[in-house]
Structure 1
């Protein structure tokens, strides 16, 4: 019916009877290209309200494939969960008296299950291929239903920074879904965002001007709010210009602590489900192509060969420009070894589009035509990475001072391992003479930095002679510490 209305409108436009009248909304949305490019930006409530306006809009939205393909519930008020503990002595939630019969999953996943039940009755749930639940109350049982329930056909799921998630249970569900004896074409889920940060919300519009009678009292607040808004906008633009994470933005990509078991889960799901992180490729891991070609640090000597989730995206070594295991290169590395990139794609529900980095303005991708990075875990960059300038030194170019004894102990029994090393390979990574330490930590709040960055941030006060950090000592200047700057040049510290 919607197509008939569109054809009649198109006929009237061609006949010239309504040349002066602008095309209506139904005529514009009747174009499939415009409809598919518009609907991902609208919340589901707006689409349902539009479908309720007339029969033509309802037929157009419900009968056109792909309208409800992208479902973002982070902006839905009924999906928010602001309730504390379960037992509040009979507190009423959703007009239901809480008692001992309600399960933990029913309580914490209640808002989302109510929404899924509603859209299932409207025959919408089976059309959802991209589901975003960032920051909401999501349980492991709900994720398991999304994996195995036939009514769900989700291909890309985002559960970053969710609440009430039992990660060990989620790992168990993922491993079972990706088992070798799984049914054909299962699981339907192909991409999972779980390690990164949720996408930043859009900046709200600036507040309107205060009334004239409140101008004097609100002038300071308005100025502060305006500058705050401008700085947030400038920061957002600056971040967007840096490019995609992992490939263009170097540094820590995963800030959350990694729960034990995720590395084995990523290995078990390899080739079936992709994540927004990958396994570390450092030479201390047995699955690495460089395993055994570089000495292990003392912290990893006890558990050498174990897997770990990559938390850092690095460039080439500051000395040799490469890495013992090589780079992860988009277009050359197998697609199953590439991380999903944020934000979640709007106009596609495939892992191929979610893992594709955006090209630069000149189409060069910034790294010789192909974007690349080195994925490393925290232990593989410990005392080798500068958290300020993002420089790092690989195991073949730099041996951390004080680790020579541990490396020598590894050379004694490395031939007995099953990694196939021979004598000339062992000699390739014998400890070299260490001249100076490259990474150290000079500030309690700062991470480990190189000496060039330390010289730019750690200063000596010309008044009292004490050392201070210009980043974490609020009120300090390039020449005076925070105490001397606040006391306007007092040169003697009072202990009491």
Structure 2
């Protein structure tokens, strides 16, 4: 390529260095590169090395899930004097925690020697082997400056020990300025990697055979269709229904979120149903009436919200009200609003991690310059116990405690008789309203009860499992 004589010589020779010398350009370019690529860039010249290692924003975000050394099950065999010692199979002095966390500890040790670890504020460890002891070190070791940590889909993690470490770090007698961690992603699924979905074309048959040609074209059409489809709706504010792929969360997480409220934010929030002590509507609904109406007895005092729902199908709201983004710009937002995936790319601020798409972080200026007619980002967080017998998984409609008590209400203005034409739940899981059951024709002709698609795959039922079981008991009594 011929040089342009109109440009100065130093620009012609060091064009990339001149561009990256702008700290704003460098800080917005580095997050798109892996740590390996950034270090290779620093090794090209002394000027770029000085620029990379003396700009703190370069290593503000570290995605360790892309590092090959972190994905290995065993650390390198050679031990170093300054780093984490290698883990040898059969060593009696090595615990399981040391063995599983050795690869990540070795990486962090090398980054600490390069004086890079102290600049990392957003750390992603999704899908890696992570132990509770390693997270405890990140919370308490002053060499770490992590503000947002992502542990989605990690392996070998003792959640009970992690909850204990988080509760200890957020205790009232903690030192001032600790913990540095302000946001933790752990409940949601890890981000999808496009390279993982791509598969190699079949090599068993000849490329000229009809089967191979059809398979290749099916793969290409699938990739094109996937690329053309819109992105998955944003959790909590846009996507309704169940938010997490887990079947059931540990009971320790509710007490952990309560202990960390105001200190550490999570990608989940506590349920605001009126049966919980933390609810703003606690005491406004008669618990005895809910128990008499067949609502689940023994609901925990605090519970993690697993579902995001719209307003009640009857009154359009909920006893505890809506969770509306931007209605309160105080520091009490930590714990009220969930962190939204993925973690922020160019910031380590909690407001940026919580802000829904199309909205701005809450501030005085953003409240004054709010567009007229802009739809508010809001949702109602509920746990499964507060939605049982009053939520339809087919259409995501639900009925609050003030509009519908339960299937066995003793009578009154809120009895099931007033809403018999509206809702009839699945006997097994308490899901699906009457409209959805009628469409799928999952009705028991004996008792009129319904079954959802998950618990019965038949097109029409002469008798449900409950009626069949009752008839069997009657027959046994007649025989004996």
Q: TM-score, normalised by structure 2?
A: 0.78
SS of equivalent to 1:214: coil
The alpha-carbon deviation at position 270 of structure 1 amounts to: 0.8
1:387 pairs with 2:387: no
The alpha-carbon deviation at position 399 of structure 1 amounts to: 2.2
Aligned to 1:71: 62
The alpha-carbon deviation at position 303 of structure 1 amounts to: 3.3
The alpha-carbon deviation at position 170 of structure 1 amounts to: 0.8
CA–CA separation in structure 2 for the residues paired with 1:252 and 1:269: 23
Change (3 A) 1:29 1:207: farther
CA–CA separation in structure 1 for the residues paired with 2:135 and 2:453: 45
Aligned to 1:250: 240
Residue of structure 2 aligned with 1:454, choices 434, 437, 443: 437
1:156 pairs with 2:148: yes
The alpha-carbon deviation at position 24 of structure 1 amounts to: 2.9
CA–CA separation in structure 2 for the residues paired with 1:14 and 1:177: 61
Deviation per CA, 1:366-410: give whole Å up to 9, x if none.
Answer: 9953211111001011121111221111111112221x25xx9xx
Aligned to 1:46: 37
Change (3 A) 1:287 1:52: same
Change (3 A) 1:108 1:213: closer
Contact kept, 8 Å, 1:133 with 1:162, in 2: the verdict is yes
1:373 pairs with 2:379: yes
Aligned to 1:441: 426
The alpha-carbon deviation at position 245 of structure 1 amounts to: 1.4
The alpha-carbon deviation at position 98 of structure 1 amounts to: 2.8
Aligned to 2:169: 177
Contact kept, 8 Å, 2:426 with 2:432, in 1: the verdict is yes
CA–CA separation in structure 2 for the residues paired with 1:158 and 1:18: 45
CA–CA separation in structure 1 for the residues paired with 2:455 and 2:195: 27
Aligned to 2:109: 117
Aligned to 2:351: 352
Contact kept, 8 Å, 1:287 with 1:305, in 2: the verdict is no
CA–CA separation in structure 2 for the residues paired with 1:372 and 1:126: 36
SS of equivalent to 1:375: strand
The alpha-carbon deviation at position 230 of structure 1 amounts to: 2.9
CA–CA separation in structure 1 for the residues paired with 2:207 and 2:391: 52
Contact kept, 8 Å, 1:108 with 1:139, in 2: the verdict is yes
Contact kept, 8 Å, 2:153 with 2:190, in 1: the verdict is yes
CA–CA separation in structure 1 for the residues paired with 2:179 and 2:442: 56
Change (3 A) 1:181 1:195: same
The alpha-carbon deviation at position 454 of structure 1 amounts to: 3.1
CA–CA separation in structure 1 for the residues paired with 2:154 and 2:317: 37
The alpha-carbon deviation at position 168 of structure 1 amounts to: 1.1
Residue of structure 1 aligned with 2:315, choices 313, 317, 320: 320
Contact kept, 8 Å, 2:11 with 2:18, in 1: the verdict is no
Contact kept, 8 Å, 2:391 with 2:430, in 1: the verdict is no
The alpha-carbon deviation at position 31 of structure 1 amounts to: 2.1
1:274 pairs with 2:241: no
CA–CA separation in structure 2 for the residues paired with 1:169 and 1:113: 19
CA–CA separation in structure 2 for the residues paired with 1:205 and 1:358: 26
The alpha-carbon deviation at position 19 of structure 1 amounts to: 11
SS of equivalent to 1:281: coil
The alpha-carbon deviation at position 99 of structure 1 amounts to: 2.3
CA–CA separation in structure 1 for the residues paired with 2:452 and 2:386: 27
Change (3 A) 1:45 1:178: same
Aligned to 1:229: 223
Paired residues, what number?
Answer: 422
Contact kept, 8 Å, 2:390 with 2:398, in 1: the verdict is yes
Contact kept, 8 Å, 1:190 with 1:273, in 2: the verdict is yes
Aligned to 1:9: none
The alpha-carbon deviation at position 468 of structure 1 amounts to: 11
Residue of structure 2 aligned with 1:34, choices 22, 25, 31: 25
1:196 pairs with 2:188: yes
CA–CA separation in structure 2 for the residues paired with 1:224 and 1:194: 35
The alpha-carbon deviation at position 274 of structure 1 amounts to: 0.6
Show the 5 A alignment for 1:294-333: 294-296=285-287, 297-298=290-291, 302-303=297-298, 306-333=301-328
* CA root-mean-square deviation: 3.7
CA–CA separation in structure 1 for the residues paired with 2:103 and 2:140: 20
Contact kept, 8 Å, 2:296 with 2:385, in 1: the verdict is no
The alpha-carbon deviation at position 234 of structure 1 amounts to: 4.0
Change (3 A) 1:447 1:73: farther
- Stretches of structure 2 that go unaligned for 5 or more consecutive residues are 75-84, 361-368, 444-449, 460-480
Aligned to 2:405: 399
CA–CA separation in structure 2 for the residues paired with 1:377 and 1:366: 33
CA–CA separation in structure 2 for the residues paired with 1:272 and 1:344: 18
Aligned to 1:219: 213
Aligned to 1:167: 159
Change (3 A) 1:107 1:350: same
